[in-house]
Chain A
């Protein structure tokens, strides 16, 4: 049973398109993380949120605690946004670092 589900698994977009990646989870959480994994394997943390919405540049993350759902949006997508985007959650009662990860969404943005 996957406690963190992401959709879609793969996404191909044209440069400039608005992109949405979804994450649903089945456990009680303290926080939800959005991470970016580059083709070389390195992981960068994009957002950590426990309610509402956060924005950084062209990236927007939202979370609905009642519905146990989060979305990551990319506006005006660019080929350099091509990466795997991973949703991860910190379970209620657990430590911040004990994350449950989704399988990731592989995004490819074509010029």
Chain B
């Protein structure tokens, strides 16, 4: 069964450093998403991406965040200057359709720790 993959599984970084989280969505999917989950809290939507542009973003997704699909397979989330409060699990997801007939497939997550 096709699956969404994410790398790295864990990342430790120093405050102020840039991090790039990578995702490989399911190959024929067109819609891509990033979510985060701070430890002990609920999952939160960050951004959705379609046709090489952001289609929707949350208040959390400020100027420190950016997303890119640099080639035909990868989908990345960049945090320019990490803060302690960026420590969280980051999930990528993808879906094949924009309507509500198909659910999303989630990756296993990247656990980011900012020191």
Contact = CB atoms under 8 A, between A and B. Distances in A.
Contacts of A104: 42
B contacts with A: majority SS = strand
A110 B31 CA distance: 39
Interface residues of A, number: 27
A contacts with B: majority SS = strand
Given A41-B111, A86-B43, A101-B42, A96 B105 contact: no
A31 B99 CA distance: 10
Interface of A: 30-31, 33, 35, 40-45, 47-48, 50, 86, 88, 90, 94-104
25 contacts: A30-B100, A33-B103, A41-B89, A41-B108, A41-B109, A42-B108, A43-B43, A43-B91, A45-B103, A47-B103, A48-B102, A50-B100, A90-B100, A95-B48, A95-B56, A96-B31, A97-B45, A97-B48, A97-B56, A98-B45, A98-B56, A98-B58, A99-B45, A102-B42, A103-B41
